[in-house]
Amino acid sequence: MSENELEDKDEIHVRHKDFEENLEMQEALAPVVLENLLDFGMEEGQELRVEYFFYTDSSGKANALATELKKLGYYVWSGHSSYGKTQFLINGWTIKMSMDNETMINWVNRMSTLGYAYDCRFNGWGTSEQMQDDLPEPEN
């Protein structure tokens, strides 16, 4: 589907321009988040699971993205967000990955692009070494 076809639909949640701006911001923030994690004792290159967040405007879009994330081996939850009945949250945890700039910039690019393909906005990520043992197992 072309960008113009997407832009003409009333039910589009993430416009192409918004996707590009969000992607640029997420790629710029990844090294900052990693630097903050290093300040809290994480070691560069340490393998951790990452919590992620997406938002969209319909349960169908949320469920479609959740299905794709499960294919990656990620734990996924989706449902109404606390912002109201017209906002849907998709969040969960990844498999372990290296906490380094290249890996995380590539990953936020992939997540932003995947979210956009399902009309969902990638809203960010975080992790904590302390939470790694208490995480749910991904569904296969």
Cβ neighbours of residue 59 closer than 8 Å, sequence gap 6 or more:
78, 79, 88
- Calpha distance 121→88 (Å, rounded): 10
- Calpha distance 34→36 (Å, rounded): 5
Assign residue 59 the CATH number of its domain: 3.30.70.970
| Whole-prediction pTM | 0.84
Asked whether residue 139 is assigned to any structural domain, the reply reads no
Q: What are phi and psi of 89, to 5 degrees?
A: -105, 135
Q: Tens-of-pLDDT digits for all 140 residues of the chain?
A: 344 433 334 488 899 999 999 999 999 999 999 999 889 888 989 999 999 999 999 999 999 999 999 999 999 998 777 666 678 999 999 999 999 999 999 999 999 999 999 999 999 998 877 677 766 665 55
Amino acid at 140: N
| Neighbour count for residue 44 (Cβ, 10 Å) | 12
Provide the domain count of the chain: 1
Asked whether residue 133 is assigned to any structural domain, the reply reads no
Asked whether residue 31 is assigned to any structural domain, the reply reads yes
Asked whether residue 4 is assigned to any structural domain, the reply reads no
- Calpha distance 139→129 (Å, rounded): 22
Asked whether residue 111 is assigned to any structural domain, the reply reads yes
The domain in which residue 26 lies consists of: 15-125
Q: What are phi and psi of 12, to 5 degrees?
A: -70, 130
